[in-house]
Amino acid sequence: MTRTLVLVRHGQSDWNLKNLFTGWKDPDLSDKGVDEATLAGKRLKEYGLHFGSAFTSELSRAQRTLRIILDELGQPQVPTTRNIALNERDYGDLTGLNKDDARAKWGEDQVHVWRRSYDIAPPGGESLRDTGARVWPYYIHHIQPKVLSGDNVIIAAHGNSLRALIMALDGLSPEEIVAQELATGVPIIYRLNGDSTVAEKEVLSG
């Protein structure tokens, strides 16, 4: 029983490319994002992983990333579950705005607080803590049991939904997790102990 969990942030989206707050909006992958997802699949294939289950959000950039990865692996038949609990953080009134325009409107310090604090949400949106409040129960009840039973599981999701999950897996403080950057299209491989704690962690970045 390998008890392997793989996390992948979706490849670059069109809105990432344009420096826009994306949140729950649904832009597609950019050409670079497709290349990143393809490379993630190739790296996982070299690693020799076979998956029993896959999870993703209800947003197409994560879903397409997952499809590309599974196709590269030659495992397109892996049962896949989509759930809103794995969606990106909702940026509320910031959604769709260019990040530089948001700084001009509210000030650099305020926008930095909204982007990088743990528990302060932008107007009408979610904080990282709010995002974790939906990610953690979903993981505990629907994903973790599959991993602990010996199923290899892959999750293709978003920077903040995965950041919340990494916070729990790695036992990070709020200050530590908000400083974590998550690269697009780079698989993170966890091997869990039988008690759900992390035995090993590897980032396939090169």
Tell me the catalytic residues.
10, 88
CB atoms within 10 A of CB 197: 9
Amino acid at residue number 68:
I
Cα(144)–Cα(55) distance, rounded to whole angstroms?
Answer: 11
Q: Which among 178, 12, 200, 22 is positioned nearest to 102, based on CA atoms? A: 22
C-alpha count within 13 angstroms, C-beta hemisphere, residue 183: 13
To the nearest 10°, the Cα dihedral for 167, 139, 77, 32? -30
Please identify which residue in the block is written with the tokens 């998956």: 51
Q: Where are the alpha helices (DSSP H) in the chain?
A: 14-17, 31-47, 60-73, 99-106, 108-116, 128-138, 144-148, 159-170, 174-178
